[in-house]
Amino acid sequence: MSMRRREFIPLAGTAAVACYMGFRGKSEEKIPDGPAGRSAVSIYKCKSYSDDLADKILAGIQSCGLAVKGKRVLLKPNLVEFDSATVVNTDAAVIAAALEVFRKLGAAEVRIGEGPGHRRDTYDLAEDASYRKTIPRFDDLFVDLNRDDVSAVRGFAGEAEMYFPHTALGADLIVSLAKMKTHHWAGATLSMKNLFGLVPGAVYGWPKNKLHYIGIPESVVALNRQFRNTFAVVDGVVGMEGNGPIQGTPKQSGVLVMGRDLVAVDATCCRIMGINPEKIEYLKMAADIGHLHSSRIDQRGELVRAVRTDFQLIDDFRDLRLEVVEA
Amino acid sequence: MSLQSRLDFLLRVQNADGGWGYFPGKQSWMEPTVYAMLALQGCTEGRSAVDRAWRLLLSWQTPDGSWRPGTAVQEGTWVTALGVLAACGRNSLDGVGTRGIGWLMDQSGQESRWTVRVMSYFHFLKTDVNVNHRGWPWRPGTSAWIEPTAITVLALKKSMEKRRDGSVASRVREGEELILSRRDHDGGWNSGNPSVLKYDLPSYPETTALALLGLQGRSRQELAAPMKTARQFYGDCKSSLAKAWLTIAFRCYGEAVVEAGEFKGNPDILLCAIQALGSASGNYRLLKTGAIA
């Protein structure tokens, strides 16, 4: 009667205890130093979505040394739910600003694509999130990644084949426009986990239960190994705390966090949220592809301690709280 | 007019291989192809389009009886239930349909494996859902969810209108019980389960509509609360697809519903086909079924 821990995780809400245990992290483990060199992560204060977001995104891209000219860019927001009254989705203003900046920097093409995990009606979701109203010619730029053409790739997380949308496979650069949110399974959902939306629902369903069976942390890391040409812009202007990623409450944190190393960006976001990134399972597992330790991250713009705003955590995740204020 | 304009659109955007993509000019997929076929069935000008689509569907059935979800994908999935629905619509249950039903009968959510049931029974495993009912997953080897379970239950019920089978009836009953056991606190259905950890999940309008389609034939009393929730959703949901599914559900239950608006050229082929099916003179009847004896 053998059953691996991760097999319990997706049982449609069964195995709550196993899920809980799965994401606690083994805090005593030695975490690798990561790849050679250091990673730049930019933090810019933004009081509201009326600030000049484009200026800040441009500054973040330049301070992280990202080359954009001639690239086919896919902007990947976090579009989750019909809930315009709250903060579940990446704000439309952030996407519009990123679109403007990547075009200005000479991208050959900029598309916007998303494959929501639960809801089928992506265009109506985009309408409800004000994307169509805010982003000029949105329908011409947008691809529903759940229902795009697909091709198989080999070697994803030990699977014989895994299917991905052509729009993602053909992009030279994928920009994860994530929302800064707590997550009731993973602890936090940021730029790395946002890549779940690259997995096509037409093949894997709504939700993409296959990823749960591979394991949520394992899938997050595998997606980030699969798609290496990435950049992160995390919308923490207003994030979500408590029972995220859907039912939490708004949290004004007033920042945009950017960088080419998504592990370093997410680790930095965690520190801003008052979460210990070394206790987030997928970040630990990704420590060979990016920098988790603050000593290997060059902070640009604001310092973490200047913008740290502790996010409320559900009871099951209280021990993720970062006690020491890090630079 | 709104039905005819949608059918015209479907005919215009059929792919050369006989299938339909989710959007014009894209790869053909099983889901939009089956719903477009059902929407066009019986329409004189759609006859050859439907025949070509059926031929494509036949090429997508794998040797084990399952159906592939699309041109580019090799393994069979939940869309096998759609293949069975299409076969029922064409009176092609023998051979093709039977093999599809056989494959579906071999599938169930991993949470209902005997190992999980035993562990749950002895409280080694804390579960938020009843693991004793076998439903259907999106893909083999994963958990059962409401949508694939509801569509499969519907397809199997339709198949039993043509040919009664005791073992199929038994699985249908289990599928219905699974759906009923996972109803949310607000009366409708979420995609999988009513709560995560100790937090209640809200139901979704589209999943609620599909669950109601799967539960056709159950007592009105049993479904009073879900119908009420569905009616509330119909009034205020923002998803066109959800509204289209709710329309079909209400029509199948004989309830009054407003006709969908004029087709405005939205390129979403699946949505167009579901809206056409739900039209007052549409083919929603192909999804109407009764109780199992």
Residue range A143-157, pLDDT digits in tens: 999 999 999 999 999
Q: How far apart are the first and last CA of chain A?
A: 48
Please report which confidence band the pLDDT of residue A241 belongs to, taking 50, 70 and 90 as the band edges. very high
Task: State whether A118 and B143 contact (CB < 8 Å).
Answer: no
- Closest of B238, B167, B180, B172 to residue B208, by C-alpha: B180
Name which of A11, A149, A314 is nearest B72 (Cβ-Cβ): A149
- Answer whether the bond into residue B140 is a cis peptide, omega within 30°: no
Q: What's the pLDDT at B293? A: 67
Distance of alpha carbon A71 from alpha carbon A142, whole angstroms: 17
Distance of alpha carbon B225 from alpha carbon B188, whole angstroms: 8
- What ipTM describes this predicted complex? 0.94
Residue A173 in this model has a pLDDT that exceeds 50: yes
Distance of alpha carbon A239 from alpha carbon A230, whole angstroms: 22
Q: What's the pLDDT at B266? A: 82
Residue A71 in this model has a pLDDT that exceeds 90: yes
Residue B188 in this model has a pLDDT that exceeds 90: yes
Distance of alpha carbon B284 from alpha carbon B249, whole angstroms: 9
Strands A173-183 and A187-189: antiparallel
Please report which confidence band the pLDDT of residue B193 belongs to, taking 50, 70 and 90 as the band edges. confident
Task: State whether B70 and A243 contact (CB < 8 Å).
Answer: no
In degrees, rounded to 5, the angle at the alpha carbon of residue A90 between the alpha carbons of residues A85 and A91 is: 65
**Which residue type is seen at A14?**
T
Closest residue on chain A to B182 (Cα): A12
Interacting residues of B69 by C-beta distance below 8 A, sequence separation 6+: A202, A203, B29, B30, B31, B77, B79
Contact residues on chain B for A125, CB-CB shorter than 8 A:
239
Q: What's the pLDDT at A185? A: 87
Instruction: List Cα–Cα distances, A18 to B197, B210, B278, in angstroms.
Output: 11, 30, 42
Residue A327 in this model has a pLDDT that exceeds 60: no
- Strand segments, DSSP code E, in chain A are 39-45, 72-77, 109-114, 142-144, 150-153, 162-165, 173-183, 187-189, 230-241, 249-259, 297-301
Q: What's the pLDDT at B182? A: 95
Tokens of A223: 């997606």
Count Cα atoms within 13 angstroms, Cβ side, for B276.
Answer: 28
Q: Distance from B73 to chain A by nearest Cα, in Å?
A: 8
Lowest pLDDT segment from A2-16, A106-120, B206-220, B278-292: A2-16
Q: What's the pLDDT at A17? A: 33
Instruction: List Cα–Cα distances, A265 to A68, A191, A269, in angstroms.
Output: 19, 8, 6
Q: Distance from B252 to chain A by nearest Cα, in Å?
A: 22
Average pLDDT, integer, range A53-80? 98
Yes or no: say if B275 and B15 are a contact pair by the CB < 8 Å rule: no
Yes or no: say if B135 and B214 are a contact pair by the CB < 8 Å rule: no
Name which of B74, B110, B139 is nearest A11 (Cβ-Cβ): B110
Contact residues on chain B for A163, CB-CB shorter than 8 A:
72-73
Closest residue on chain A to B130 (Cα): A14
Distance of alpha carbon B64 from alpha carbon A252, whole angstroms: 54
Task: State whether A209 and B77 contact (CB < 8 Å).
Answer: no
Instruction: List Cα–Cα distances, A155 to A161, A225, A228, A259, in angstroms.
Output: 7, 11, 15, 27
Question: Angle of helix B80-89 relative to helix B146-162, nearest 10 degrees?
Answer: 30
Average pLDDT, integer, range B4-23? 97
User: Reduced to 3 states, what is the DSSP secondary structure of residue B7?
Assistant: helix
Q: What's the pLDDT at B114? A: 81
Yes or no: say if A118 and A207 are a contact pair by the CB < 8 Å rule: yes
Q: What is the pLDDT of residues A86-137, one digit of tens each?
A: 899 999 999 999 999 999 999 999 999 999 999 999 999 999 999 999 999 9
Q: What's the pLDDT at A2? A: 36
Average pLDDT, integer, range B230-258? 95
User: Reduced to 3 states, what is the DSSP secondary structure of residue A294?
Assistant: helix
Contact residues on chain B for A79, CB-CB shorter than 8 A:
none
Q: Distance from B15 to chain A by nearest Cα, in Å?
A: 13
Please report which confidence band the pLDDT of residue A325 belongs to, taking 50, 70 and 90 as the band edges. low
Q: Distance from A219 to chain B by nearest Cα, in Å?
A: 15
Rounded to the nearest integer, the mean pLDDT of chain A is 91
- For chains A and B, CB pairs below 8 A equal 155
Average pLDDT, integer, range A14-25? 39
Average pLDDT, integer, range A181-192? 95
Q: What is the pLDDT of residues A296-322, one digit of tens each?
A: 999 999 999 999 999 999 998 999 999
Burial (Cβ within 10 Å: 0-12, 13-18, ≥19) of residue B169: middle
Question: Angle of helix B98-105 relative to helix B146-162, nearest 10 degrees?
Answer: 140
Q: Distance from B147 to chain A by nearest Cα, in Å?
A: 9
Residue A16 in this model has a pLDDT that exceeds 70: no
Q: What's the pLDDT at A28? A: 59
Please report which confidence band the pLDDT of residue A23 belongs to, taking 50, 70 and 90 as the band edges. very low
